[in-house]
Amino acid sequence: MLCVGIFCVVKMMKQKKKLLVTASTFPRWEDDTEPRFILDLVSHMTNQFQVTVLVPAAPGAKDREILEGVEVIRYHYFPIHKWETLCYPGAIVPRIKQKKIRIL
């Protein structure tokens, strides 16, 4: 807001459109070994969009954080969080082939 004397002008800031990206592979923390191609892609979109990434939770990872200007929300998919091993490390299909119980 800009005020001169008793007159105030409210400068309307153009709000960015919101963009939600979902992925099954995403870095769990900074300098993680998981592929970061989704983070690389969306971090370049933050100048045009308010970007939120929705990804599976992983043991040791924060449920919510900001990485490189991107809001990251990690959802829990199993009641016992330490057993959320379907997605990390690596991709889902090889993890299921490794242990068939993960398909449940």
Q: Using the 8-state DSSP alphabet, how is residue 35 labeled?
A: -
Which residues, in sequence order, are CB contacts of 24 under 8 Å at separation 6+?
55, 56, 87, 91, 92
46-103 pLDDT, tens per residue?
A: 999 999 999 999 889 999 999 999 999 999 988 888 877 777 777 777 777 777 666 6
48-59 pLDDT, tens per residue?
A: 999 999 999 988
Q: Considering the entire predicted model, what is its pTM?
A: 0.76
Question: What confidence score (pLDDT) does residue 96 get?
Answer: 75
